[in-house]
Structure 1
Amino acid sequence: MKNYILDTNVLLHDPNSIFNFQENHVLIPIEVIEEIDRFKREATELGQNARTVSRTLDALREQGALSGGVPLRNGGLLRILFQQNNGNGHQNHSVDSRILAHALAVAQSDKGRKTVLVTKDINLRIRADACGLAAEDYETDHVRIQDLYTGMFEMTVSTEEMAAFRLNGELEVPLNGHYPNEYCILNDAGHPRRPALAKVDVSGKKLVPILDCREGVWGIKPRNREQHFALDALLDDRIRLVTLMGKAGTGKTLLAMAAGLKRTVLDREFRRVVVARPTVSVGRELGFLPGTLEEKLNPWMQPIHDALEMLSDLNMGHEHRRAADLLRSGTIVVEALSYIRGRSIANQFMVIDEAQNLTPLEVKTICTRVGHGTKVVFTGDPYQIDNPYVDSASNGFNYLVSRFRAQPLAAHIELQKGERSELAELAANIL
């Protein structure tokens, strides 16, 4: 049994974190409640999380006095911490100092249980350690990037098995430890220079060939094996969730846009392509932007317009006119993610760009907006995170990849080779 003292940033990151500490005691300093109260009026995801925390605590309050301890559904106990002012000017200290003082007081008074301060604030963890107090990050939704699912593997088979695969369009082999829609580079033991590209079928028991996309999609031809895998996932009607991971220049957004345009404009499978990305800037904020909502979004969505113009140029030869026509007709809609809550998005091809800047809760919000007939594609690079509230272990993109890897309606591909330019590939590798 332990005492876990939660910082404000933990509750704002995951409003349900109160219930994730098993049978241990969860303690919340009153200063954390005051900070939560300051966020609750915001129209952002933080504001929504703050309101969720307040409602949760209010529901628990009806079961008993929070100051004395309320039982949680997982067998733990929740208690709000108060500390009387001892006249030494303590009330003028920062909020972090008061939270740390609460934790030290609990550790001193309850020596039968280990007391742990849980915070996503690195500096507060350092201060706690300096005071001899155990401190941890909130790791319930952490995914170690070194252990992240890559979505592909290699397998070597005999020449006879390879011939049977090419003839029958399937091959039953032991696939223990591999997931549906996991892609495979199938090597021929007798002819190692002639591999085949395959994937695990939805049953998880055999390998089947991928779609032949060598002729290209909307003017884009795959340049490496991973791009072949990505186009197969993007064009497969059975797969409704695709995650494309890769460093800058690997073609994540371009492939997703090309597949979306083909399935929407040529195949008439979807009503429109919806492209959205979080509005997180690189470096210092520029302040409020003038104009209409569309004009405010233009700086954030310029990478999408760049990809559209390139696709139009490759496919039609009239880049600016064709890209503008697609936007004007509503075939492509570019949006911010700020206003997605409460929507139901049906029969659309959704592309969520720069998904590494999303929190796990934001990813859940997006996925639960997906209606009937919609396909959603998340693209991201977990090594380029601009959101100060997430990192390579706690971002929603990695969390999504980890949680959906065993689901037959999902596929993940890690794009490894940069194709933007020689300079871009060199910069991504050495800088």
Structure 2
Amino acid sequence: MNKAYLIDTSIILDDVENLYFLHQNGENHIFICDVTLSELDKKKDLNNQTGFFAREFFRNILSDESNLSEFPPKNSDKIHQIYFLCHNIKIPLQIIHRPKYQTHSLDYGLNDARILEVAKDYNLILLTNDISLKVYAISNSLISQSLMRDKIDNPQDINFLHHFKAHKNHIKDSIEANNDFITLKNWSLLEITEQDNTENSLYETGKRHYGIKLNNEFVELNFDLIAEDKLYINPINLEQKFLYSILTHPKNKITICSGATGSGKTLIALQAGLHLLKKGEVNGIVYMRNTITANDKEAELGFRKGDESQKLNYFMYPLFSAINFMITKMQKESLTKRIEYRGEANSIFNKEATEYFIQKHNIEVMDIAHLRGTSIAKKFVIFDEAQNASNATIKLVGTRMGEDSKIVFLGDPAQIDHPYLSKYRNGLVTLLNKAKNEDFLAGITLKQTIRSEIAAWFEDNL
């Protein structure tokens, strides 16, 4: 049965290919009102992913092909049918122009109220990723849905660590012959409980072995060797050791890591990048994250004071926090380091010690709005807060990776700030889900957190 959808701005700004997905080879009808077109027009000059999708929408409209719609208009409305070209398919769009709206002012939001007015008058299903608009529509007895494309059910259950038991005399052979091991993908994380035997029984020795599956082989990881790397900060628990080991593995190119605040994901990722820089495997570290949400005007760089570098600093607190943690630790442990990193390490403005650290280790902070048309070669790239990035943004970042680069995506699906994304539908959980089966991707979820007593109380009690 054909369905008729009225889509709002959030659907197009999420990804213009949503129109192709909704079309379903002509099974559905797509309506857009003039309010949405006006909102898109205001977004098209933005120098970010939002602006790109607004421009892509207008660029792919076949302006020479327009005619009156077969759908009858209400009152003084006019409905024209235009075509949006995607994957060489002409997707018909019904554009509703209403010269006079009944809604003139409303505290909730004039544009949203007018979109609801059109949906009600034409008995259309309102399709929006704006949760507040969806709830408001439902409260007014209108049918409203969110786009379920790329939704991942139960992302909290995604796991990459697998447990085995094996006799101490033939661990590798025993594991590689295990049917459960054979079905695992590359970069699966393994914990093996060592066993031994007497003449009459088999027992566990209490020793654990750790490793990964790579090219159908069990590759053991000796975490004791990490100390030989002489790191600024050593991983302190099993999860952090696994993360550091796969990030620095020469055959791993892409890592996806989820973990709550306090899990150490940014700190360990930075330390891995510093080690690779020291070894000459990369010639720099690039840190990036989203600096804008879809309707948070104050989060746009253009609304901050200062030059671009100063504006970016407001959004790079996790990086500066990790750097300052390293500097403080080094200053406490070594007089030489106190002299080298003299001065103030500040988490907001990269002054003195922090700035020196960034310059010494060739760390670059990059705005994703400037990635299009660039290529990042031989860098260790940290994309933080990936849960606040759409799949399209993740694709943009990934396609900028050049030769000999590595990239790690970090985030916490429970910490969604983007108004059009959710913990079930965002760039991070999409990658985590793909990492379950893709041999090219390494994935890890960090469950352990190291929190202050205050932070732990708020986490557990509110």
TM superposition score category, shorter chain reference: 0.7 to 0.9
- Distance apart, 1:340 and its partner CA: 2.1
Q: Which residue of 2 aligns with 1:125?
A: 134
- Distance apart, 1:209 and its partner CA: 1.6
Counterpart of 1:81 in structure 2: which amino acid? Answer: I
Counterpart of 2:178 in structure 1: which amino acid? Answer: V
Q: Which residue of 2 aligns with 1:207?
A: 218
**Helix, strand or coil at the partner of 2:241:** helix
Cα shift readout 1:308-352 (whole Å, capped 9, x = no counterpart): 233345467326357544423462222333322221000011112
Using structure 1 for the length normalisation, give the TM-score: 0.84
Using structure 2 for the length normalisation, give the TM-score: 0.79
**Shift in alpha-carbon separation, 1:53–1:72, aligned structure 2, 3 A:** closer
- Distance apart, 1:202 and its partner CA: 3.5
In the alignment, structure 1 residue 106 sits paired with structure 2 residue 122: yes
Cα shift readout 1:187-233 (whole Å, capped 9, x = no counterpart): 34631732321222244xx5332353554351333322211210121
Superposed CA RMSD in Å reads: 3.2
Alignment of 1:315-334 (within 5 A): 317=334, 318=337, 320-321=341-342, 324-329=355-360, 331-334=362-365
Q: Which residue of 2 aligns with 1:97?
A: 113
Q: Which residue of 2 aligns with 1:80?
A: 94
Name whichever structure is richer in strand by fraction: 2
2: CA distance, partners of 1:173 / 1:228:
25
Counterpart of 2:221 in structure 1: which amino acid? Answer: I
Say which of 448, 454, 458 aligns to 1:417.
Answer: 448
**Helix, strand or coil at the partner of 1:274:** strand
8 Å contact kept, 1:347–1:371: yes
Q: Which residue of 2 aligns with 1:150?
A: 159
**Shift in alpha-carbon separation, 1:371–1:2, aligned structure 2, 3 A:** same
Q: Which residue of 2 aligns with 1:348?
A: 379
Q: Which residue of 2 aligns with 1:250?
A: 263
**Shift in alpha-carbon separation, 1:360–1:158, aligned structure 2, 3 A:** same
Counterpart of 2:95 in structure 1: which amino acid? Answer: L
In the alignment, structure 1 residue 183 sits paired with structure 2 residue 195: no
Task: Please list every run of 5 or more consecutive structure 1 residues that lacks an aligned counterpart in the other structure.
Answer: 108-114
**Shift in alpha-carbon separation, 1:417–1:95, aligned structure 2, 3 A:** same
Q: Which residue of 1 aligns with 2:177?
A: 172
Say which of 32, 39, 63 aligns to 2:36.
Answer: 32
- Distance apart, 1:46 and its partner CA: 1.4
In the alignment, structure 1 residue 360 sits paired with structure 2 residue 371: no
**Shift in alpha-carbon separation, 1:105–1:285, aligned structure 2, 3 A:** closer
**Helix, strand or coil at the partner of 2:428:** helix
Counterpart of 1:16 in structure 2: which amino acid? Answer: E
- Distance apart, 1:258 and its partner CA: 0.8
In the alignment, structure 1 residue 387 sits paired with structure 2 residue 398: no
8 Å contact kept, 1:350–1:376: yes
8 Å contact kept, 1:169–1:209: no
The alignment-based identity, stated in percent, is: 25
**Helix, strand or coil at the partner of 1:128:** helix
**Helix, strand or coil at the partner of 1:82:** strand
1: CA distance, partners of 2:309 / 2:409:
22
2: CA distance, partners of 1:88 / 1:48:
30
Counterpart of 1:100 in structure 2: which amino acid? Answer: L
Task: Please list every run of 5 or more consecutive structure 2 residues that lacks an aligned counterpart in the other structure.
Answer: 70-79, 196-202, 343-352
Cα shift readout 1:221-274 (whole Å, capped 9, x = no counterpart): 332221121012111111111122111111101111111111102x11111111
8 Å contact kept, 1:116–1:136: yes
2: CA distance, partners of 1:346 / 1:48:
24
**Helix, strand or coil at the partner of 2:126:** strand
8 Å contact kept, 1:63–1:70: yes
- Distance apart, 1:277 and its partner CA: 2.6
Q: Which residue of 2 aligns with 1:298?
A: 313
2: CA distance, partners of 1:147 / 1:77:
36
Counterpart of 1:371 in structure 2: which amino acid? Answer: G
2: CA distance, partners of 1:310 / 1:126:
43
Q: Which residue of 2 aligns with 1:51?
A: 55
- Distance apart, 1:18 and its partner CA: 0.3
Counterpart of 1:28 in structure 2: which amino acid? Answer: I
Counterpart of 1:262 in structure 2: which amino acid? Answer: H
**Helix, strand or coil at the partner of 1:101:** helix
2: CA distance, partners of 1:70 / 1:278:
32
Q: Which residue of 1 aligns with 2:277?
A: 264
**Shift in alpha-carbon separation, 1:38–1:368, aligned structure 2, 3 A:** same
2: CA distance, partners of 1:346 / 1:64:
45
Q: Which residue of 1 aligns with 2:13?
A: 12
**Shift in alpha-carbon separation, 1:422–1:197, aligned structure 2, 3 A:** farther
8 Å contact kept, 1:81–1:102: no
1: CA distance, partners of 2:418 / 2:64:
36
Cα shift readout 1:274-306 (whole Å, capped 9, x = no counterpart): 12233359x995995443333333333343223
